[in-house]
Chain A
Amino acid sequence: MSIQVGLRGKAWFEALTGKNSPMAGDPDSVLTADVKIGEDTARFLCVVPNPQARFPCARRGEVGLEEAYTLAARVNEVIEQNTSADKQPISARPIIAIVDVKSQAYGRREETAAIFLACATAAEAYASARMKGHPVITLVVGQAISGGFLTHGYQANRILAFDDSDVVIHAMHKEAAARITLRTVAELDRLGHEIAPLSYDVRDYAKLGLLHKLLHVEDPDKPARATVAQVQKELIDAVADARAGSTDLGNRLTSNAARETRKASVAARAHIEEQWMKA
């Protein structure tokens, strides 16, 4: 890893929104901004490291209790604005999650105060927005790991990721996964090259069929003007694509890559449906 987790997320939030501060009343770890993109005013959200966080296990870019509830509140706000202001929501505002999270917060305080519920509220907010027609776009610029990603980003109807070696989308970071599955890190790396869902390489992740697009960008650590313009255009395209598609996660099963790699998912679903009709 070239830089600390979360800093790249912050750099991209600043580059895309021109802002770098939380909204009033929010913790320093959640950046939210409403910015014009194409014809829309999109809401951008990003979780960043906050070394002064009240919760000691959520100071390095993890999604903790404050982060999860803040994300939930800020996403719900967009849904409420839409339903109260426009009686006929012609174009529900896009919501863009910039993702660079190392994980959920691993602390006793968090467990005691039911972090599972906190994370559920944020995931629900994103999913509700999607189901109500808001294009929810996730842009993975760095890490997107485990409960951190389930909370912030995985309910989007389009996921974009940088094609870069520092981008990691995974269920658990490498060292911990090795310990739990009783493997060495070297063994995990080797298996990752053979078995796509185990890989820590975003190009292998792209083979699973869950990504909308892999973006090739120059020097993702330092967003240059041209790169920012390129990413903005990709976001606008993804918003249009999301609006043209369904509001569920069906595209993760119907993409070309998914039809190849997720054959077992497709088969299991088809069998359940066939037997459901008869039961």
Chain B
Amino acid sequence: MSYPTVIPEFVLRQSFIELDARARAQSLMDPGSWRELVGPFDRIESPWLPEQGIAPQFDDGCVVLKGAIAGKAAVVIALEGGFQAGSMGEVSGAKMAAALDLATRDSQNGKTTVAVLLLETGGVRLQEANLGLNAIAEVMASILALRQHAPVITVIAGTVGCFGGMALAAGLSSYIVMTPEARLGLNGPEVIEQESGIEEFDSSDRALIWAINGGEQRVAMGVADELVLDDAQKIAAIVRSHVEAGLPAVHRSQQVDLYRERIRALDTSRQIDPLTLRETWGGKTTVSKTRKGVTR
């Protein structure tokens, strides 16, 4: 009559990756606390895509929610990887930069407002080329301005990953949270193969891609902070803990001398084995000594 059933926790979880940008953003905020700003009903869309015969989207692939996380004022900005691969256009970039700037203004006026960025993006939207690149420059400037007052937490869950100029934006964040499915890098594998040849990077080699760009590697080598399984509740808990932790003593992107020495010490006569960086870099970083490793 009673058969003890063991259903693995992982099977019963709510996947975060399977949620769209809007549902991801909502899942991180205190229930009932948020309101979406400039949502699809406002129809602020790209003026450049229709000219090129490409369907725009009413929210330009960028979801902005203002509300609270762990009771603290917060804004969550999510890029929709399903629209133009999450690429940054003029409008999506302006929405992100504007929301970050308003969080800065509120923080300066005494209402500290943290930002969470959900980055699923290939970088610049090439159909808006120069306005996309500038949008990323402006987002980076806005992250740095807010970071003087409140933490900026980047979550990269997958499956698009975070590439191109937006990887620099991730690099400026106070904390980076990744799943094992997520990837983080400046140049995507296809771009490297195209520019430098298949001997340099075989973009069909998935094991190689995840060995270099994957969440497990990025956290183990110390250039991202938290590895978390694809579970919406666990990701929300990690985000809450970083909101509560506040600003780190030193941001990773300020540790120029440390990383410059590490680059100097690399043997560049051959390709670098990613595993060696786990040993030589990982764990030595003074950033985020706490809570490293997979949260289960």
Does B70 belong to the interface (CB within 8 Å)? no
| Structural contact, B131 and A272, CB atoms closer than 8 A | no
A-B contact pairs, 27 of them (CB 8 A): A54-B268, A69-B256, A104-B186, A106-B195, A111-B185, A111-B213, A112-B271, A120-B169, A120-B171, A123-B137, A123-B140, A123-B168, A124-B172, A127-B140, A127-B141, A171-B130, A180-B126, A197-B48, A208-B131, A210-B134, A252-B134, A265-B90, A268-B38, A268-B44, A272-B64, A273-B98, A276-B102
Question: Chain B's nearest CB lies how many Å from the CB of A233?
Answer: 27
Is residue B191 within 8 Å, beta carbon to beta carbon, of the partner chain? yes
> In the complex, which residues of chain B have a beta carbon less than 8 angstroms from the beta carbon of A151?
168
Residues of chain B within 8 A of A162, CB atoms compared: none
Which of A39-47, A70-78, A83-91 binds B? Answer: A70-78
Total interface residues in chain A, CB < 8 Å:
78
Task: Evaluate contact between A106 and B66: CB separation under 8 angstroms.
Answer: no
Provide the bound-state CA to CA distance between A227 and B191, in Å: 38
Of B38, B134, B135, B253, the most chain A CB neighbours within 10 A belong to: B134
Q: Which listed residue, B124, B141, B195, B272, touches A113 by the CB 8 Å rule?
A: B272
Number of interchain pairs (Cβ within 8 Å): 243
Tell me if A177 and B168 are in contact (CB < 8 A): no
Q: What are the interface flags for A131-150 relative to B under an 8 Å C-beta threshold, 1 for contact and 0 otherwise?
A: 10000000000000011011
6 further interface pairs, Cβ-Cβ under 8 Å (given A171-B133, A195-B51, A208-B130): A109-B271, A116-B184, A123-B140, A128-B144, A131-B144, A273-B98
| Residue interface bits B257-284, CB-to-A below 8 A is 1, else 0 | 1011011001010011010010000000
B→A interface (CB under 8 Å): 35, 37-38, 42, 44, 46-48, 51-52, 60, 64, 66-67, 90-91, 93-95, 97-99, 102, 124, 126-138, 140-141, 144-145, 148, 164-165, 167-172, 184-187, 191-192, 194-196, 200-201, 212-213, 218, 221, 223, 252-257, 259-260, 262-263, 266, 268, 271-272, 274, 277
> Which of B44, B167, B256, B277 touches A121 (beta carbons < 8 Å)?
B256
Q: How far is the CA of A264 from the CA of B212 in the complex (A)?
A: 37
Contact B259 A271 (CB under 8 A): no
Give the residues in chain A near B94, CB-CB below 8 Å: 264-266, 268-269, 272
**From DSSP, what is the main secondary structure of chain B's interface residues?**
helix
Q: Counting CB contacts under 8 A, is A185 at the interface?
A: no
What residues of chain B lie closer than 8 Å to A196, measured between beta carbons? 130
| B90-A197 in contact (CB<8A) | yes
Least CB distance from A224 to B in Å reads 30
| A150-B136 in contact given A106-B191, A170-B129 (Cβ < 8 Å) | yes
Quick one: given A69-B259, A123-B168, A155-B141, are A108 and B201 in contact (CB under 8 Å)? yes
CB-nearest residue of chain B to A112: B272
Contact B194 A176 (CB under 8 A): yes
Among A114, A124, A149, which residue has the most Cβ atoms of chain B within 10 A? A114
